[in-house]
Amino acid sequence: MSYEDEKNRVKTPKEKKMFEYICYCDKVTKGDIVVAIMGGAKTLQDIMKVTGAMAHSNCAVNNPTGKCCGNDIKEIIEIYS
């Protein structure tokens, strides 16, 4: 099943949140980060290695908030660790 098929399949708001981009520059979703944490990633550096997040930082242009996603990733680590 493709990413788009899976994204269109989800029904609940909670499920849809897992498909939201956290790292807009490298198209890394909240779900990608959670899966990395479940696989043993414990730090921002671990998440970067596993998911490729923050590799092409151009946050001012790509992220709607205009901010780096690092703090958002750290928050997800705290919640799911």
pTM of the predicted structure, to 2 decimals = 0.83
Give the pLDDT band of residue 3 (cuts 50, 70, 90).
low
CATH 1.10.10.1100, domain 17-80, yes or no: yes
Residue whose entry in the numeric block shows the structure tokens 């996603």: 69
Residue range 73-79: mean pLDDT, rounded: 97
* Spatial separation of the C-alpha atoms in residues 8 and 74, rounded to whole Å: 28
Give the pLDDT band of residue 2 (cuts 50, 70, 90).
low
DSSP SS3 for 68: coil
Domain ranges of the chain: 17-80
Q: Could you report the per-residue pLDDT of 5-47, keeping only the tens digit for each?
A: 665 665 677 777 888 999 999 999 999 999 999 999 999 999 9
